[in-house]
Amino acid sequence: MTVIVQEVYTAFKEAGVSEESARSAAEALTGYGDRFHDVEREMDRRFNEVGQRFNEMEREMDRRFNQVDQRFHEVDQRFNAIEREMDRRFNDTDKQIMEVKGTQRLLQWMLGFNLALSVAVLFLLLRAGI
């Protein structure tokens, strides 16, 4: 008998249990100890298995998140290209608008000068009595 079984056997004997009953009870408890050890080993095995599954899931999630990050990076590059093209077009449009404004200002001055010259000629004609 092992030490634990001997202690249980001795405790039963001191409690007044018959020798045969004390021995069978101690041996039965030995079986329970072995069963608990087997259960503990099985639980350790299953916990390790679950841990491995979690590690696999973590790796898979990391892989998928990296794929999503790569897709976002590609989309960001496309948006940046579109933004640069829009900036270029807006700058071109701004230049064209400035050219039109410059031409408009020149035409206003030409019209004003023409109007002033026409009024001056009309005034001279009216003054001369024609």
**Domain with 20 in it:** 3-128
Q: Could you give the 3-state DSSP secondary structure of residue 130?
A: coil
Specify the number of domains making up the chain. Answer: 1
46-100 pLDDT, tens digit each: 999 999 999 999 999 999 999 999 999 999 999 999 999 999 999 999 999 999 9
What does the CA dihedral 91, 92, 97, 101 come to, rounded to 10 degrees? Answer: 100
Phi and psi of 17, rounded to 5°?
-85, 150
What is the Cα 54 distance to its own chain's centre?
Answer: 20
For position 1, what pLDDT does the model report?
A: 45
Closest CA to 112 of 100, 122, 120, 101: 120
108-126 pLDDT, tens digit each: 999 999 999 999 999 999 9
Confidence of residue 101 (pLDDT cuts 50, 70, 90): very high
